[in-house]
Structure 1
Amino acid sequence: MKTSAFLFSILLSIVSLSANAELKPEQTLAKNKGLVLYNQLKIDLATPYLKTASEAGDSESQYYLAEAIRQTNRYMTPEAEKWYEAAARQGNYYAMIQLGRSGNDLCKVMSNCPDSGKPPVDWLKNARALAEPLAEKGDAEAMYVMYEITLNRDWLEKSANAGNPDAQFWMAIGDKQGEGFLLPWKRKEAVGNWFKASAEGGNPRAMMEYAAYLYENEGDLKVARHWIKVAAEKGYKSGVSSYGAYLAHAPERFGFELDLVKGYAITSLLKDLDGGGNVQVYVEEVLPEIAEKMTSQQIKEAEDFAIQWKKSHPPLSFFPDKLSR
């Protein structure tokens, strides 16, 4: 415990000396653009924008730039490590964890891991030294970080009970897959409760899972429709594709009232994901199917509706995990 406290004090001094830079307006625009593209899985397009904000000292941009570089190369490179370390020096838990996990990276198999002079295990120790005191004080995110460091499910459950939507989502997934010690009828109830809590906490992936749970287990189509709509309004790709298709009855599911104009409009939003996640195959198949049932006037109304939707809703996103594997 003394070692952890010592490491924690060192980290606090490092963080205080490396305070996150205040970005200029153009750098903030670059960061925001980069994050939008990253979350749309347009990694190559995101990289130059994230680099602009990273070079200005923004730790969040540094972390996602490192993620983008590592994902593009499929292993830890010297450049990815450089940006992870830059973010880690500013107290970024997630950068420390990725540096700590680099000992199991593909670069290890290829025998070309960067030689940073600091063993990966030390980064995990640093992350723990920073997170554990906060977790013990009830910080929900720090508890989740402790789970990622230790893989101890007790920390995941503590984080979930403290209200962390990501932890609640993964508790639901874990219970669904048979983790933990629950009786069969209690397990199904727990899955539903965790998905519900995570959805109410704003997690769009949980919203879609909870809608499916309600459809399959409770037949509550009204509430299921509500969560699909909210997931679409959040910009979640799966929410948008499902909401648009179900409104247009392509296919008819969950009891949505037929609305070809809105169905076409919302499905057409997926064009913005061209280049990310292979969505265009779906768009090119479903959009003409809906259009066949519409008049030219209805299509024009749908195009106008799509323009207004974009103005009043967040950009589309796949909402990828913050800690990519």
Structure 2
Amino acid sequence: MNRSIRIKLSQIALLFSLGLISLLPYSVNLTNASPAALNNEQRGIVLYNQMKIDDAIPQLKREAENGDIESQYYLAESLRKKNGYMTPEAQLWYESAAEKKNIYAMIQLGRAKRDRCATMENCPPSKKTQAEWFAEAKKITLPKANDGDPESLYLMYEITLDHHWLEKSANSGYPLAQYWMAVSERQGEGYFFTPGGREASVRKWLLLSSEGGNPKAMMQYLETLYEEGDMAGIRHWLEVAAATGEQAAMSNYGAYISHTPDKVGYSLDLVKGYAIFSLLKELGDAGGVQDYVDRKIEKISERMTPEQIEQSKTVAQEWKATHPPLSFFPDKLSN
């Protein structure tokens, strides 16, 4: 699959459904963290996932300097994204995480030769060559992959770009791999000999990934359900996706339950709809959503009493205490 296409696709984390909480293995990797803890521990990663890079960098730096390996990785990602290429400081933090066996950092260091700094001929000197970082990543990951570890199978795909590993990871039940199987097949990967076979396979992978808790898969699966006219399915999966904190899902869910507009048949709930948009307002202008959110809040409030608006504040606090933070769910291995 051409990785240059991946960043153009539409929009990993905790799935809250029917009162059950599960931690997704490909998410921020906050081990058994509660929603409240997600807002306080590794706060820099939360800010990064909310596309608040300028706010995330100083917070990530504090966490990274305290030895948090995930924060070291995301600090490197933030610095590289902010500057548009691999800076010496970004490389320092990638290497710090990589030396502590962070495979994602090793992969990014291995890809540095494709970074814009190579074109500019000012890439900082590395402790190892790109090939050596890939070799180190493979040395650690391959034994686990051979033992059938789903995430390691996926990481072998990221290291080698061999579709065989992606398929094995997907078949082992790894939701992120299942999502990328759907994307790759939709883009023409694989051979299907029966009419509709490709579409059926894409649908299968999106459903499996959604059931595994992947918000990106849920959002694309919703498109499939819309084409099929399955309003009950849309109502279910949009609510599940919103519960992950995925900002687009929350925005659509808030709009539909407040009937601004009523497109899928939810019962009217102005209080909850207003509460959800008040939470989305915390994103500020990240992702360019602020104007849209402000318009929705104004439109919903026109139909509410002062008592309902006060009630919505309690609903918003309860949601925030029992759900993951808002997120755009950017790819952990970004380009």
TM-score interval, normalised by the smaller of the two chains? 0.7 to 0.9
Q: Distance in 2 between matches of 1:275 and 1:100?
A: 33
Partner of 2:212: 201
The number of residue pairs the alignment matches comes to 297
Out of 281, 288, 292, the position equivalent to 1:282 is: 292
Identity of aligned residues (%): 54
Q: Could you tell me how far 1:244 is from its partner in structure 2?
A: 0.2
1:110 equivalent in alignment to 2:84: no
Q: Could you tell me how far 1:291 is from its partner in structure 2?
A: 1.9
Q: Could you tell me how far 1:30 is from its partner in structure 2?
A: 6.5
TM-score (norm. length: structure 1): 0.87
Q: Distance in 2 between matches of 1:179 and 1:291?
A: 48
Out of 117, 139, 149, the position equivalent to 1:139 is: 149
Q: How does 1:173-192 map to 2 (within 5 A)?
A: 173-183=183-193, 184-192=195-203
Which of the pair is proportionally richer in helix? 1
- What do the CA deviations read for 1:197-254 (whole angstroms, capped 9, x no partner)? 111111112122222211212x222122111111111111111101001111222222
Partner of 2:130: 120
Q: Distance in 1 between matches of 2:129 and 2:205?
A: 37
Partner of 2:222: 211
Q: CA RMSD in A?
A: 1.7
Tell me which amino acid in the other structure corresponds to 2:325.
P
TM-aligned CA distance change 1:150 to 1:298, over 3 Å: same
Q: Could you tell me how far 1:301 is from its partner in structure 2?
A: 2.2
Q: Distance in 2 between matches of 1:46 and 1:229?
A: 28
1:84 equivalent in alignment to 2:94: yes
Out of 135, 158, 165, the position equivalent to 1:155 is: 165
Structure 1: runs of 5+ lacking an equivalent:
1-27
- Relative contact order, higher structure (CA 8 A, sep 6+): 2
- What do the CA deviations read for 1:279-316 (whole angstroms, capped 9, x no partner)? 20211222212222223332222233212211222211
Whether the aligned pair in 2 keeps the contact of 1:63 and 1:95 (CA below 8 Å) is yes
- What do the CA deviations read for 1:28-80 (whole angstroms, capped 9, x no partner)? 98752111111111111111222122122221111111111111111001111
Tell me which amino acid in the other structure corresponds to 1:208.
M
Structure 2: runs of 5+ lacking an equivalent:
1-37
Out of 280, 283, 287, the position equivalent to 1:270 is: 280
Which piece of structure 1 moves more, 183-192 or 144-153?
183-192
Q: Distance in 1 between matches of 2:302 and 2:190?
A: 50
Tell me which amino acid in the other structure corresponds to 1:157.
E
Whether the aligned pair in 2 keeps the contact of 1:30 and 1:52 (CA below 8 Å) is no
Q: Distance in 2 between matches of 1:145 and 1:216?
A: 33
Partner of 1:46: 56
Give 3-state SS (helix, strand or coil) of 2:287's partner.
coil
Partner of 2:256: 246
Whether the aligned pair in 2 keeps the contact of 1:74 and 1:106 (CA below 8 Å) is yes
Whether the aligned pair in 1 keeps the contact of 2:73 and 2:93 (CA below 8 Å) is yes
Which piece of structure 1 moves more, 42-51 or 80-89?
42-51
Tell me which amino acid in the other structure corresponds to 1:206.
A
Q: Structure 1 runs of 4+ off > 6 angstroms?
A: none
TM-aligned CA distance change 1:29 to 1:204, over 3 Å: closer
Give 3-state SS (helix, strand or coil) of 1:143's partner.
helix
